[in-house]
Amino acid sequence: MNRLSPEAIQSYSGQRRKMVEEQLVERGVRDLRVLEAMSRVPRHLFAQDSLRHRAYGDAPLPIGENQTISQPYIVGAMTEALGLTGEERVLEIGTGSGYQTAIVAELARQVFTIERLNNLSRQAQKILEGLSYMNIVFKMFDGTYGWPDQAPFDAILITASAKEIPESLIKQLGEGGRLVAPAGDKEKQKLIVLTKKDGRISRQELGDCKFVPLIGKYGWQDK
């Protein structure tokens, strides 16, 4: 395992603090655990080398394979909506760069993350292992199936958008759990929070967003 140097991790610390204050706190993200996690995790290490200087800007960044790393505010808002306390088993659909994975791993007991693109999965795993995360389990597969043999999950996070949240994933949410995902057409979506209580699912909309499409059996079909 290639450990990342303390210098690589600590660089940009001032930009991280500024990002948290100006992009998260000022827009209403209040969960102190989320804010502290985003102050710690070195977002620049998950960006392409040529874009590291933009890693703490208020915008998504391309990571290759027609995928992106979400803007910091979206990462913070989605993570806060999960309501993590530290004891949860979390399913993440769409590892991507691994940045959102790292934030959740800071706040939950264990993260099960699925990525359909091999290159992205391998690169994310390399970075996350270099940062010494020991509570992440990786899988390369069609994420719209979820991870049935590890279900139920206390929380589910979907980092790509489908027209509707796949029922296959909703079924894997445990009692009292929350699922956070974008849903809508390919140009514009709503950020949705589903909560399971007494076996019933309630739905809340948090606002507009735009994500890459969720490709797979129960999402958009790859062309």
Please, which residues bridge with residue 154 across strands? none
Q: What is the pLDDT of residue 144?
A: 97
Residue 162 in tokens? 């489908």
Residue located via tokens 């948290």: 20
Active site (catalytic) residues: 70
Among 78, 65, 114, 61, which Cα is nearest to 194's?
78
Distance separating alpha carbons of residues 184 and 6, to the nearest angstrom: 41
CATH 3.40.50.1100 fits 6-209, yes or no: no
**Is the separation of the CB atoms in 116 and 140 below 8 Å?**
yes
Distance separating alpha carbons of residues 69 and 47, to the nearest angstrom: 8
Among 93, 127, 121, 104, which Cα is nearest to 212's?
93
For the chain, the domains span 6-209
The residues near 69 (Cβ < 8 Å, ≥ 6 apart) are 43, 46, 47, 60, 61, 63, 96, 97, 99
Distance separating alpha carbons of residues 92 and 33, to the nearest angstrom: 19
Among 221, 81, 97, which Cα is nearest to 156's?
81
Residue located via tokens 């070195």: 42
Distance separating alpha carbons of residues 113 and 171, to the nearest angstrom: 17
Q: What is the pLDDT of residue 221?
A: 81
Q: What is the pLDDT of residue 4?
A: 54
**Is the separation of the CB atoms in 72 and 81 below 8 Å?**
no
Averaged pLDDT in 10-residue chunks for the chain of 223 residues: 58 92 97 96 94 95 93 97 98 98 97 97 96 96 97 97 95 98 92 96 94 93 67
Q: What is the pLDDT of residue 223?
A: 53
Q: Is the pTM of this model over 0.85?
A: yes
**Element (H or E) spanning 17, and its range?**
helix 13-19
